[in-house]
């Protein structure tokens, strides 16, 4: 009987220790970490114009790749070969963003600002919709963005990660409200509510030449001109 009680006591102590360690190791911080690159592991896309960084000069890893790509204004994304320790800074100006090829040797990192040209986005983040949603598949990011705009959805959650089961198409979800966000590599959330459809290219460039300029404040509210509207340029 004494041994039985000792055994039960030992089991309870062991269970408490295991539970304590699990609690200490679990991350209760729900704040999203700051990301500037969409990270796609075990993935490859063809980079036509690139510069190979010598592995003898620096350590080839994701952090150094981001640093070098940030310092290069012409770098839109980079590739890392984890086996050969090769880093490629890619300069393709017009590349079609689609689901990458599955390749165990490569990692892709695309600048968030490249995706922001299509719609305001948060990379390496998955939004959990507050309602049931359907799954859609698209060949390219352009097709997915176009569909979201046409149906006037508020948000789009897009999975860029290569997946053998889903084939070569991008996996997308559209939703109107999001309960919360979680950090998840390979995913991006696009916010269609922040898109100003008219004169979108002008708003990105902040200037529209002789055609007009962007209203920076609400000083012309009485004239029914809001901040961000394109107004006629003053001619001299």
- Cα–Cα distance, 232 to 236 (Å, whole number): 13
Read off φ and ψ for residue 104, nearest 5 degrees: -60, -20
> Are the C-beta atoms of residues 179 and 34 closer than 8 Å to each other?
no
- Cα–Cα distance, 201 to 117 (Å, whole number): 9
Can you give the pLDDT at residue 10?
56
Q: Are residues 170 and 227 in the same domain?
A: no
Can you give the pLDDT at residue 186?
92
Mean pLDDT is highest, among 116-120, 177-181, 184-188, 210-214, for 184-188
Q: Are residues 220 and 180 in the same domain?
A: no
Residue with tokens 């220790």: 17
Q: pTM for this one?
A: 0.66
Q: How many CB atoms lie within 10 A of CB 55?
A: 13
Buried b (16+ CB within 10 A) or exposed e, 167-183: eebbbbbbbeebeebee
Residue 158 sits in a domain of what CATH number? 3.50.4
Q: Are residues 177 and 126 in the same domain?
A: yes
Q: Are residues 175 and 204 in the same domain?
A: no
Question: How high is the mean pLDDT of the chain?
Answer: 75
- Cα–Cα distance, 41 to 19 (Å, whole number): 32
Closest to 89 in 3D by CA, of 37, 136, 133: 37
Question: What is the rounded average pLDDT of the residues 157-183?
Answer: 83
Can you give the pLDDT at residue 112?
92
pLDDT digits (tens, 9 = 90+) for 29-57: 345 566 899 999 999 988 889 999 877 76
Q: Which domain holds residue 186?
A: 121-194
68 pLDDT above the threshold of 90: yes
Closest to 47 in 3D by CA, of 102, 92, 114: 92
- Cα–Cα distance, 160 to 186 (Å, whole number): 5
Q: Are residues 60 and 95 in the same domain?
A: yes
């Amino acid at each position: 009987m004494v041994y039985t009680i000792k055994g039960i006591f030992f089991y309870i102590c062991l269970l408490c220790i295991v539970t304590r360690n699990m609690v200490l190791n679990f991350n209760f911080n729900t704040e999203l970490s700051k990301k500037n690159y969409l990270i796609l592991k075990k993935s490859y896309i063809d980079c036509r114009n690139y510069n190979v960084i010598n592995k003898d000069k620096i350590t080839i890893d994701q952090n150094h790749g981001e640093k070098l790509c940030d310092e290069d204004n012409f770098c839109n994304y980079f590739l890392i070969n984890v086996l050969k320790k090769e880093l490629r800074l890619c300069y393709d100006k017009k590349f079609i963003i689609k689901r990458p090829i599955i390749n165990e040797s490569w990692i892709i990192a695309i600048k968030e600002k490249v995706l922001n040209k299509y719609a305001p986005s948060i990379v390496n983040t998955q939004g959990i919709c507050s309602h049931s949603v359907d799954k859609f598949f698209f060949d390219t990011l352009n097709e997915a963005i176009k569909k979201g705009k046409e149906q006037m959805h508020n948000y789009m959650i897009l999975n860029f990660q290569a997946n053998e089961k889903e084939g070569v198409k991008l996996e997308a979800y559209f939703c109107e409200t999001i309960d919360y966000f979680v950090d998840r590599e390979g995913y991006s959330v696009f916010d269609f509510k922040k898109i100003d459809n008219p004169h979108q290219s002008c708003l990105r460039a902040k200037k529209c030449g002789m055609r007009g300029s962007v209203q920076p404040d609400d000083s012309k509210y009485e004239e029914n001109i809001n901040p961000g509207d394109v107004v006629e340029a003053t001619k001299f």
